[in-house]
Amino acid sequence: MSSLANHSNPIVLIPLYGTEELADKIEYYLRETYNKEECHVVNSQIVRFSTGDAKAVLEDTVRGADVYILVDVGNYSCSYQMYGQTIPMSPDEHFQNLKRTVSAIGGKAFRVNVISPLLYASRQDRRISRESLDCAMALRELENIGVKNITAFDVHDNRVANAVPYNGFDDLFPIYQVIKAIKRNYPDIVFSEDNSLFISPDLGATTRNYKYTNELGLDMGIFYKRRSRTKVVGGNYVVDVHKYIGPSVKNKDVFIVDDMICSGTTMLDVAKYCKKQGARRVFAAATFALFTEGIGKFDEAYRKKVLEAVFITNASYRREEIRNAPWYKEVDITKYIAIYIHSVNAGESISKLLDPHEKIHRLLCKDK
């Protein structure tokens, strides 16, 4: 019988630069909830040469361990020195450090798992014209260097898993955690067709919003967005048409759910439309809060009562001005990740994690 079947493989968490806080919380839950005494953190030190070259050095052995490497490719607060200059780390540098760490393990671990809540290159998941397929290439790279499982949250399009058909690929979705945070912060919210409505900001987010409406028994509206096939600004194809299709928003609490907030323009346009049409309150929810153009527009929307609150997970870096904003509401997913790691390590099914219907039902019944 294999050591996995005996459930005897110790868990090692390797937090890469910028995920230390996440790793500490996950370790706490693994130890307190599942008595995982053989769970510990091993740091991977990235040693930088003055030219910018680097190497990964593990501080302890991971031989025979079930290794989970945590990486936040969206953490732009990290930096390194090169030729006397401070260089902020892009997703490319984070991904390179991930590969360096796998190389430092040297095949000695029982199994290497990568947990990258924000999947590297996930926005470049398909080819429209003569362009690269970065996400597929990255997944193939991880497969080729020995990674057995890849885990991400709210993947832009989880069909990228087709690039690595013989690897484990889990796309986790924090629907239960978001609903729990909403009810904790706004206990007066009633999830019913007369009182609430979910709106997809574009066709790409339809499935994501449908998960909520299906669980809560609510209606859903959709904003149809047609992009130019030729005009590109800031790496994105320009939006030519943006219009609403769906039931009335009047006198309802409206929830706009998307995977990430970059500039936030689309989400704010939807919020403004809903308020003009008589929505009672407008809430937004996103797994990743990037705010590439700052939070000034969101502050203004909050002051003008266009936007009530934004629910954001701690799956990726949020700078201090975001975490201190009056509209910011945190959704903690660290326990979710700990439960996932426990299940994978023990060889148990993760079906209930992927479909948290019973937990959501119990939460809402308890609220009633």
pLDDT range class, residue 354, cuts 50, 70, 90: confident
User: Residue 294: is its pLDDT beyond 80?
Assistant: yes
pLDDT range class, residue 340, cuts 50, 70, 90: very high
Report CA Rg, the chain: 21
Asked if 238 and 231 count as a contact pair (C-beta separation under 8 A), the reply is: yes
- Please, what is the average pLDDT of the chain? 92
Tell me, what's the pLDDT at 243?
84
Written as one letter, the residue type at 94 is H
SS3 of the chain: the string is CCCCCCCCCCEEEEECCCCHHHHHHHHHHHHHHHCCCCEEECCEEEEECCCCCEEEEECCCCCCCEEEEECCCCCCCCEEEECCEEEECCHHHHHHHHHHHHHHHCCCCCEEEEECCCCCCCCCCCCCCCCCCHHHHHHHHHHHCCCCEEEEECCCCHHHHHHCCCCEEEEECCHHHHHHHHHHHCCCCCCCCCCEEEEECCHHHHHHHHHHHHHHCCCEEEEEEEEEEEEEECCEEEEEEEEEECCCCCCCEEEEEEEEECCCHHHHHHHHHHHHCCCCEEEEEEEEECCCCCCHHHHHHHHCCCCCEEEEECCCCCCHHHHCCCCEEEECCHHHHHHHHHHHHHCCCCHHHHCCHHHHHHHHHHHC
pLDDT tens digit string along 130-153?
899 999 999 999 999 999 999 999
Q: Averaged over 319-344, what is the pLDDT?
A: 96
103-107, 178-182, 223-227, 320-324: least confidently modelled range: 223-227
Q: Averaged over 283-291, what is the pLDDT?
A: 96
Q: Averaged over 331-351, what is the pLDDT?
A: 94
Fold exhibited by the domain 11-173+334-350: Rossmann fold (3.40.50)
**Structure tokens, 134:** 């970065």
Q: Averaged over 273-290, what is the pLDDT?
A: 96
Helical packing angle, 91-105 and 134-144, nearest 10°:
10
Sketch the domain layout of the chain as residue ranges: 11-173+334-350, 175-331
pLDDT tens digit string along 160-195?
999 999 999 999 999 999 999 999 999 999 999 999
pLDDT tens digit string along 211-230?
999 999 999 999 987 666 66
CA 334 to chain centre: 11
pLDDT range class, residue 368, cuts 50, 70, 90: low
The CATH architecture one would assign to domain 175-331 is 3-Layer(aba) Sandwich (3.40)
Residue, of 247 and 240, whose pLDDT is higher: 247
Distances (CA, A) of 114 to 88, 159, 181, 208, 239: 23, 18, 27, 23, 35
Q: Do domains 11-173+334-350 and 175-331 have the same CATH topology?
A: yes
pLDDT range class, residue 240, cuts 50, 70, 90: low
The whole-angstrom separation of Cα 368 and Cα 357 is 17
